[in-house]
Structure 1
Amino acid sequence: MDRISALRNVEEALAAFEDGECSLSELEADVRGVLRTYAADFEGDLRAYRASGTGPVDGLVVLAPSSAAARDRVAALVDDPGEFTVSPAE
């Protein structure tokens, strides 16, 4: 999914919420799904990586050109990342 498609899908979800066609929790689920699809199907030289560990890093997904760069990005996002690994997100 490219950026324009993702934005359109989020815009459609927001419009449905504004029109009363869905609840806030449904809107959140729809937007979360769009973002996860965008990250998983990202087109370009970057790839989605998921962190596994304890605390706030567990489950974090970042886009990076390599696993080493993904580790750096995860560490930069969290004050005290502790021990963690990264692997390609499925």
Structure 2
Amino acid sequence: MDRISALRNVEDALAAFEDGEIDLATTERRVQGVLRTYATEYESAPDAAYRVETRDRADDVVVVAASLDDARERVEALLDEPITATAIERLDD
């Protein structure tokens, strides 16, 4: 999915919400699905979304990576500190 298609799909979800055709939770799921598809198909990379749960953060961190180890490294780079991951999970569509 290219950027223009992703933006159109988000716009469609927002328009459906504004028109009362879908509720907020459905809108959030549709937008998240668009974003996840865009991120994992960007430049045809064989990457996937990974949820990384850490001991020191209340919220999990979701990154796009090629492997579990790459996901851990990406989270450490984003947070600019070493992490203690309590779980790393691949998020499949």
Report the TM-score range of the alignment, normalised by the length of the smaller protein.
0.5 to 0.7
Gaps of 5+ in 2: none
Task: Identify the range of structure 1 (53-62 vs 27-36) with the bigger mean alpha-carbon deviation.
Answer: 53-62
CA distance in structure 1 between the partners assigned to 2:51 and 2:59 by the alignment: 6
Q: Shift of the alpha carbon at 1:32?
A: 0.8
> Structure 1 residues 22 and 66 mapped into 2: Cα distance closer, same or farther (>3 Å)?
closer
**Which residue of the partner structure matches residue 21 of structure 2?**
21
Q: CA 1:51/1:33 → structure 2, altered by over 3 Å: closer, same or farther?
A: closer
Deviation at 1:29, TM superposition (A): 0.8
Contact 1:48 1:63 in 2 (8 A): yes
* Displacement of 1:34: 0.7
Q: CA deviation at 1:17?
A: 0.6
**How many residues in Structure 1 have an aligned counterpart in Structure 2?**
90
1:3 and 2:3 aligned: yes
RMSD value over aligned CA atoms? 3.3
Q: Secondary structure at the match of 1:50?
A: strand
Alignment check: 8 A CA contact 2:49 2:65 kept: yes
Does the CA contact (< 8 Å) of 2:40 and 2:64 recur in 1?
no
Closer, same or farther: CA 58–51 of 1 in aligned 2, 3 Å: farther
> Are 2:57 and 1:82 equivalent residues in the alignment?
no
**What is the aligned-residue identity percentage?**
49
Confirm or deny: 8 A CA contact 1:46 1:63 kept in the other structure: no
The offset of 1:38, in angstroms, is 1.1
CA shift, 1:44, in A, is: 5.3
